[in-house]
Amino acid sequence: MGGIANLSVRELRGVGPRLAEKLADYGVHRLQDLLFHLPLRYQDRTRVTPIAAARDGDDVVIEGEIRATDVAFGRRRSLVARIQDGSGTLTLRFFHFSAAQKNKLQPGTRLRCFGQVRRGGSGLEMYHPEYRELVEGESPVEQALTPIYPTTAGIGQNQWRKLCSQALAYLQRERPDDLLPPNRSYPYDLARALAYLHAPPPDAPQEQLREGTHPAQLLLALEELVAHNLSLYRLREEQQQEGAPALPLNREQHSTFLATLPFTPTAAQQRVLAEIAADLAKPVPMLRLVQGDVGSGKTLVAAGAALQAIANGYQVAIMAPTEILAEQHWASFSGWFAPMAISMEWLSGRTKGKKREAALQRIATGEASLVIGTHALFQHDVTFSRLGLVIVDEQHRFGVHQRLALTEKTSPDQGRPHQLVMTATPIPRTLSMVAYADLDCSVIDELPPGRLAVTTALIDSSRRQQVVTRVAAACSKGRQAYWVCTLIEESDALQAQAAEATAAELRLALPQLDIGLIHGRLKPAEKEAVMATFKSGELSLLVATTVIEVGVDVPNASLMIIENPERLGLAQLHQLRGRVGRGSQASHCVLLYQTPLSANGKQRLGALRESSDGFYIAEKDLELRGPGEVLGTRQTGLMEFRIAELPGHNHLLDEVQAIATLLRTQYPERVEPLIQRWTGSSQQFAKV
């Protein structure tokens, strides 16, 4: 949009310093922000309803004359005005009122009122309706549907309407440029779409507007998704312009490494390893996302990539979101790399004092070739000597900022390190097109041979005793089991208490079994000790919180009980279920749910029972919970769209990619204005 759209809201009538501050806190600084502040829904105030035709529960406009006003004293004092329109009588009731209001509502005054009709003790009533006095000769009713805007404390609906109406008047004076490619048959341009959505005509299809499928909404969603795609693509270009060290593959060393493994990599692993090897050999930063379902062997792919970088004299950083997952990587890489005398270093938030100083020193001098850790890796005092490759595991747990912060830790002459991003949460294609448009995508779509699908059963918690008996039977045959406790609260302390109580109860019920306990409050060494005991087979049953969601590998564990599964997302349940079925025997997962189960809960748990395909489950999760939940990015702002909604606007994504490509190749002058229009100063992708 032109200069007018960038005017400060302070230019508008009625906006003083205090209101401007409230608007700024809400993210509204410019006229453009107001134009994109679209209504949540609409009220129809375009026609007057006779009182006699009003029904209980209807939102209506009525007009009439006040016949009597009084203060009623019941359980709560209220101001009551009786209004009549010739067809019937209705009571207006106000529980909060002033003497001035009472004096204005005098018999003989004509009012137009809007509110919800309710059936009360004295017939039809409206509580706290919006009203105003009718003056002679004014237009009969509103000319458009009345918008209800998203709001915050201290800004009323009438204020929003006045502000947006002024912004629309400016829009008519300076119409914004249409930045999408020409020759597209669309019924609206941007100015008409915005004007329509702020003030739809009386006959507007309200259901379409509610569903977000009206052509005016689709145009805005399309344009926003295109801007988002372009901004991520530009981020990719900026990073790749800086160059990166070319790390050619040492085929002999690579073959030797694969030959030392106790298993043969699958064809899918070999394919992804080849894609990564080709990327690393180029002098531009690799930006690759590897998706693989639970147990598909992403860690081996990461090891192959790390070895290629280390063989070229560069350091590798592996960042995991939790200590338990970072520890699992440490165990895997130590086993594979120890015979090759590769120097490794560990760094987490719990690495303190002299130990931390020594670790930082080894990383800074390049003495440590492979550094494994948690969020601690991107703290400002961590410096690398020659960082050539960054591997980020479970990317959806980190923001884009955090991934990029780690890639900044190189010397200016070296360029960017290569990036390998891994996730065991299969991301629906539609979502990865939006969230990861700056990354190439590889999928490990094959499980190692001999893996059997896990059978999933839904059992009501009233049958808990039967489940306990089933656990006893499985463990008596030498199998091992997990019992997972889930809580809505994020508090580690509460999670730990719930797990401790469950472990105590199961020890009473199953005295013949050795039962272990693991939760987020344990020290890393304690967690490691419990897991090692469970892995060695000394414990039959492990009671755990969701800390065991990713990375733990115990092939003999073939039964998992998940309590209150309705509290977790599908992707998380699928991750947990992936802890069993890692050996060659048939495995089972029992979802022990609480009744009554909501319709949404039934659908979600049903999807888990009918499929073990992580991508199908991720699509279902997206459909039922939305992208912020699936990606875990509610906090990062990554998916905070103004207009677009996923999965509601999934069907636009193929068109989005085509338009973005066309703009980059044929209309490059439109790219920057489009990104600015939709992201402005809050463009969170451009810089860390």
Distances, alpha carbon 308 to alpha carbons 17, 40, 302, 319, 330, in Å: 59, 52, 10, 18, 18
Q: Return the structure tokens found at 333.
A: 């890489």
Distance of alpha carbon 253 from alpha carbon 227, whole angstroms: 44
Tokens representing residue 205 in the block: 């299809």
Biggest alpha carbon–alpha carbon distance for the chain: 98
Torsion of CA 187, 191, 197, 201, to 10 degrees: -70
* pLDDT at residue 582, as a whole number: 78
> Which CATH number, 2.40.40.20, 3.40.470.10, 3.40.50.1110, 3.40.50.300, labels domain 454-611?
3.40.50.300
β-strand pairing of 515-518 with 387-393:
unpaired
Containing 417, the helix (H) or strand (E) segment is none
CATH of 51-141, one of 3.40.50.300, 2.60.120.620, 2.40.50.140, 3.40.50.2300: 2.40.50.140
How is the chain split into domains, by residue range?
Answer: 4-35+160-206, 51-141, 241-444, 454-611
Q: In the prediction, which pLDDT does 399 show?
A: 57
pLDDT of residue 632: 47
Tokens in use for 197? 């959505």
Fold match, 241-444 / 454-611: yes
Print the SS3 string covering 143-194. Answer: CCCEEECCCCCCCCHHHHHHHHHHHHHHHHHCCCCCCCCCCCCCCCCHHHHH
**Could you name the CATH architecture of 241-444?**
3-Layer(aba) Sandwich (3.40)
Query: Running along the chain, 688 residues long, what does each successive block of 10 average in pLDDT?
Result: 73 90 88 90 88 90 92 87 93 91 91 91 88 76 86 88 92 84 80 93 89 91 92 83 90 88 88 96 92 79 95 94 82 88 90 91 94 87 92 68 71 82 74 73 79 87 94 94 79 78 94 92 83 90 80 82 88 84 86 87 88 78 62 44 81 88 94 86 37
